[in-house]
Structure 1
Amino acid sequence: MFYPKSPFIKNQLVESQLFSRNPSGINTLLEWMCRTPSTTTYRINPLLSSITDFSAKLQAILSTKYKNTPKIFSINGIPEVICISKLDEVPKLPSKDLKEVMVDSSCGAAVLRGAHIFAPGVLSMQSGTKLGEMVNVFVDLEGKCKKGTSIVFESEQKVFIGTGEVKMQRYQLYGENIANHGIAIEMLSNISGVPSIGDLSSKDALLQNFPSIVCVRVLDPQPNELILDMCAAPGNKTTHIVELMGDTGTVIALDKTENKVDLIRQKIEINGIKSIKAFAFDSTKLLHESINDSKLDNPPFGPCKFDRILLDAPCSAIGNRPLLSSNITPKMLKSYPNVQKKLLRNAVGLLKKNGVLVYSTCSVTEDENEGMVKWVLEQFPEMILIEAVPIFGGPGIKEAGGLTEEQRHLVQRFGPTEYNRGVPVDSIGFFIAKFVKIS
């Protein structure tokens, strides 16, 4: 088992409130964080496709590539989800007869989730490697391999992650005409057992983490409502909201930077969506008490405008698995709750009476999750915590953040499978809480 190379991750989790009551739990959590989720999930667009059609497409791809095809299955209660289980047989050791390719930790994590290797992720490739040649793929956990290395990279902190077929040669990766996109290595197998089929996302279906799909189901958008997605890029949850609404009503999708909002606009164009309005705007500055009109041409907006708000907040993201390395610092980790509080304050003000707010993160820390729920309940008596159904994750951590026993069972936290209350879908770390504004 390999652990995140930043010692801060382990130290901070041990010292945080999350493990101050149970320090022994850190090893269980770290092992889980470093393992790859065993289930791959796609979200079908019911406006354009069906589970039956996409399942047939998956089956054809998997049966061509694998003799013993992995199981394809659906989830009761979320009809737009289709899952692929991992393979039974996986490579454990590199072949002595194959040359070596080294990738960075970000690329390595994607490979373990079933991705192929794109050109920017290749750190080294041995001289003389030919098109179509099979290679061993390693990940550089320490980040010390220099880009363009042409010999075997020697390090105790490199880990074999699978084998693949070369689709680009060295001159394309490091020469004068460098390829900034395209598949450099098509993976044939990896040590996680997740099928190496790449990303089959299209307008018909989208590769998406299971808790992110659950999150929008918890929001429960209804036709013709006015909904705000406060931190929307790249737009995966936004398009899910639209699909559940049948592309009726209006969804305001925001993110801070124009290039991130362009990703949302691309999805709007590809899918022919009519009900999304996307803006580049800082949602911590979104509420203006002096604005009384109902126009939604441009942010900021006046109070009590929206029927439902999704705040998938900026967070430390240390629930993303597998976590092979991390550059997060103590200062960075401590900064996220401050931003989350600003966003939540705006969200409460923008929500109509009887409106619904769903708060989520892909973090495992208490301060960003249970602690933030407690803060909302203390600061805003008009906000009531309700059950985040449908529930597939586990309850909040016992005694975490000052939540009562009842309150921790209203939220859901995705973590090691023994904590899950619903179907056994192995996923990234995630947290979901749901509020209603009663006045």
Structure 2
Amino acid sequence: MSFFSKILLQPEVEEYLGNVFRNKELISALGTLEAQRKYKSLLNCLSHPPSFTTVRVNTHLASVEEIKNLLLEEIHKQFKGLTVPVFQHPDLQDILLIPVIGPRQDLQKLSAEVIVGPQCGNAVLRGAHVFVPGIISASKFMKAGDAVSVYSDIEGKCKRGAKEFLGTKVFIGNGISELSRNEIFSSSGSLKGVGVRMTDPVYLCPSLDNVLSNYLFLQNLPSAVVSHVLNPQPGERILDMCAAPGGKTTHLATLMHDQGDVIAMDKIANKVKKIKENAALLQLNCIKAFCCDGTKALAIGKTEDGQEGPPFSAESFDRILLDVPCSGMGQRPNMAYSCTLKEVTSYQPLQRKLFSTAVKLLKPGGILVYSTCTITLSENEEQVAWALETFPCLQLQSQEPCIGGEGMMGAGLSHDQLKLLQRFDPSSVTSHGMDINSLQDSREEDLILLANKDCIGFFIAKFIKLNSK
């Protein structure tokens, strides 16, 4: 049984998703009951964190084995001597996997309570402490140093500064308050930093904030797969069209041994600044970041000689990563998804504009990888079907590594085409979390297989451009 209830969705969104995951092609192949079971399993999975925390080693600065040993020491210290292993992924040599212990059902709930917002609650479930801006409510007489129970207000109904909240709330663990109630809700409202230091979260994940920051990058497993699928080579010119905050950008640069050009773009200046900060932190010099709307990245007419930034000439990149803005419905944990149906279905036109620009910027023989962190058909397989029909110059390619499942039926793609896609579907996992005993009794091979399946919902498609027409 699921520890938390299924993800809370707007009724119209839940109906929409139900129709997507019970479409005619799926029901014909699986049957109504199996399609319904998989859909129900998916909704339950989305409210829970993945079974592993995934980190990418910056192999530009250190070896994986060296960082693995340092990470083991840090986890041992954080987990109060509890022995939790760190695994190197066999197909992604720069990826380390840390098992998540939980849900821990023996924790005692305390009389003093702190209520946090949904996003803060999601972060706590993946190892974060509670930062002051995320706190909505605290018990009347709470002082610094008090032991408190932390709850997530998944419906967003708690009023800021409330002394008690009787609405729907989900227990996410216990901690120690770093500040008094009065300090948290002072009139200035400008406090930052940790408000509650989590000591006993429901899910035991390592807190990696400022831990080996030059050498580790916290990154979901499918996000790391994307860069390996693009497979950039030293000396090539690569474009990351929607790059912030720079996880995939810096991964691409690392895989290229910092040799060549990685052009990163985002249309929001503060996000571009974050890309540059991450590149500097990881000491990668081949990255050049620009503030630019990806739909406007193609130059009309001839560009100036030696121009580094956008707009760019047609057919000027060897490989392009298009990790598009999307509805984000594959992100986990997410106990409450507040977007309306109009918002969920609004991304397809933008994604197609970005895709069209990417095709024009790609050299003949070049590789284009399209990815999302969502589960809908309209943003994934339907986009592939549209792209193949709209651009005869594109051809689907097999993906390496391929650790996800094949694409989902319902967009009219052939079985052979679906096998060339990579969809990470958490609904294939029937249980959530693990305790320390099951972890120690399991084989490493089985745990790696679980990590491949029990991750965020993600989609990857890889194309080659055969000619310029």
Q: Output the amino acid matched with 1:272.
A: Q
- Superposed CA deviations along residues 273-293 of structure 1, whole A, max 9, x for unmatched, are 221111111111111342255
Q: Output the amino acid matched with 1:84.
A: I
Match among 104, 107, 116 for residue 120 of structure 2:
107
The answer to whether the aligner puts 1:430 opposite 2:434 as a matched pair is no
Q: Counterparts of 1:170 and 1:199 in 2: how far apart (Å)?
A: 27
Map 1:71-82 onto structure 2 (within 5 A): 71-82=85-96
Compute the RMSD of aligned alpha carbons: 2.1
> Bigger shift: 106-115 or 193-202?
193-202
Q: Output the amino acid matched with 1:370.
A: E
Give the C-alpha shift of residue 136 in structure 1.
0.5
Give the C-alpha shift of residue 128 in structure 1.
2.4
What does residue 18 of structure 2 align with? Answer: 14
Matched residue SS, 1:309: strand
The answer to whether the aligner puts 1:132 opposite 2:142 as a matched pair is no
Give the C-alpha shift of residue 9 in structure 1.
3.0
Q: Counterparts of 1:213 and 1:41 in 2: how far apart (Å)?
A: 9
- Superposed CA deviations along residues 364-411 of structure 1, whole A, max 9, x for unmatched, are 0011001111111101111010012101111011x3311110111111
The answer to whether the aligner puts 1:403 opposite 2:413 as a matched pair is yes
Map 1:323-402 onto structure 2 (within 5 A): 323-397=334-408, 399-402=409-412
What does residue 8 of structure 2 align with? Answer: 4
- Superposed CA deviations along residues 131-187 of structure 1, whole A, max 9, x for unmatched, are 2222101010111111122x23111x1111111111222233211343442111111
Q: Output the amino acid matched with 1:338.
A: P
Give the C-alpha shift of residue 33 in structure 1.
1.3
Q: Counterparts of 2:132 and 2:227 in 1: how far apart (Å)?
A: 33
Contact 1:13 1:19 in 2 (8 A): no
Please list every run of 5 or more consecutive structure 2 residues that lacks an aligned counterpart in the other structure: 28-34, 431-445
Cα pair distance change 1:191/1:175, threshold 3 Å:
same
Give the C-alpha shift of residue 431 in structure 1.
0.3
The answer to whether the aligner puts 1:153 opposite 2:165 as a matched pair is yes
Contact 2:299 2:310 in 1 (8 A): no
Q: Counterparts of 2:158 and 2:210 in 1: how far apart (Å)?
A: 27
Contact 2:103 2:202 in 1 (8 A): no
Q: Counterparts of 2:59 and 2:251 in 1: how far apart (Å)?
A: 10
Give the C-alpha shift of residue 294 in structure 1.
5.6
Matched residue SS, 1:323: coil
Q: Output the amino acid matched with 2:425.
A: G
Q: Output the amino acid matched with 1:261.
A: V
Contact 1:189 1:195 in 2 (8 A): no
Q: Output the amino acid matched with 1:154.
A: L
Matched residue SS, 1:227: strand
Give the C-alpha shift of residue 416 in structure 1.
2.1
Q: Counterparts of 2:64 and 2:312 in 1: how far apart (Å)?
A: 39
Identity, % of aligned positions: 39
The answer to whether the aligner puts 1:30 opposite 2:43 as a matched pair is yes
Contact 2:242 2:323 in 1 (8 A): yes
Give the C-alpha shift of residue 53 in structure 1.
2.7
Q: Output the amino acid matched with 2:136.
A: L
Give the C-alpha shift of residue 316 in structure 1.
0.2
Q: Counterparts of 1:200 and 1:284 in 2: how far apart (Å)?
A: 37
Contact 2:241 2:294 in 1 (8 A): yes
Give the C-alpha shift of residue 89 in structure 1.
7.0
Cα pair distance change 1:196/1:248, threshold 3 Å:
closer
What does residue 413 of structure 1 align with? Answer: 423
Q: Counterparts of 2:345 and 2:51 in 1: how far apart (Å)?
A: 31
Q: Counterparts of 1:419 and 1:292 in 2: how far apart (Å)?
A: 51
TM-score normalized by the length of structure 2: 0.88
Contact 1:313 1:359 in 2 (8 A): yes
What does residue 83 of structure 1 align with? Answer: 97
Q: Counterparts of 1:287 and 1:391 in 2: how far apart (Å)?
A: 31
Q: Counterparts of 1:404 and 1:232 in 2: how far apart (Å)?
A: 31
Matched residue SS, 1:13: helix
Give the C-alpha shift of residue 225 in structure 1.
0.4
The answer to whether the aligner puts 1:304 opposite 2:315 as a matched pair is yes
Q: Counterparts of 1:288 and 1:56 in 2: how far apart (Å)?
A: 48
Q: Counterparts of 1:137 and 1:278 in 2: how far apart (Å)?
A: 39
What does residue 254 of structure 2 align with? Answer: 243
Cα pair distance change 1:403/1:66, threshold 3 Å:
farther
Please list every run of 5 or more consecutive structure 1 residues that lacks an aligned counterpart in the other structure: none
Give the C-alpha shift of residue 93 in structure 1.
5.0
Match among 25, 31, 52 for residue 65 of structure 2:
52
